[in-house]
Amino acid sequence: MISPRLKRKARKELKKGDGDLSWRLVTVTDPGSDASEAYRTVRTNLFYAVVDAPLRVVALTSAGPAEGKSTTCANLGVVLAQADKNTLIIDCDFRNPVVHKFFGLRNFWGTVNVLTGEESPQDVWQEVLTPKLKVLTVGPIPPNPAEILSSERFANFVTQVRHRFDYVLLDVPHIELFSDAAAVAAQADGTLLVLDAQSTRRGDLRRAMRSLETVRSNILGLVMNNAEVSKGSYYSAYTYA
**Arithmetic mean of pLDDT, 94-99:** 89
Phi, psi of 30 (to 5 degrees): -150, 65
Rounded distance between C-alpha atoms, residue 155 and residue 104, angstroms: 28
Residue 239 has pLDDT above 70, yes or no: no
pLDDT-derived band of residue 9, with 50, 70 and 90 as boundaries? very low
Q: Taking residues 175-185, what's their average pLDDT? A: 74
CA 182 to chain centre: 14
Identify the CATH number of the domain defined by range 52-223.
3.40.50.300
Q: Are 127 and 165 in contact (CB under 8 A)?
A: no
Q: Tell me: the pLDDT tens digits for 38-69? A: 899 999 888 887 667 778 999 998 877 777 88
How far is the C-alpha of 120 from the C-alpha of 3, rounded, in Å?
38
CB-based contact 195:67 (threshold 8 Å)? yes
Strand 126-128 relative to strand 130-136: parallel, antiparallel, unpaired? antiparallel
Of 23-32, 45-54, 110-119, 199-208, the range with the lowest mean pLDDT is 199-208
Amino acid letter, residue 118: E
Report the candidate in 133, 140, 135, 116 with the shortest Cα–Cα distance to residue 124.
135
**pLDDT tens, position by position, 61-91:** 887 777 788 999 999 999 999 999 999 999 9
Q: What per-residue string of b and e applies to 54-84 under the rule 16 or more CB within 10 Å gives b?
A: ebbbbbbbbbbeebbbbbbbbbbbbbbbbee
Q: Where are the domains of the chain?
A: 52-223
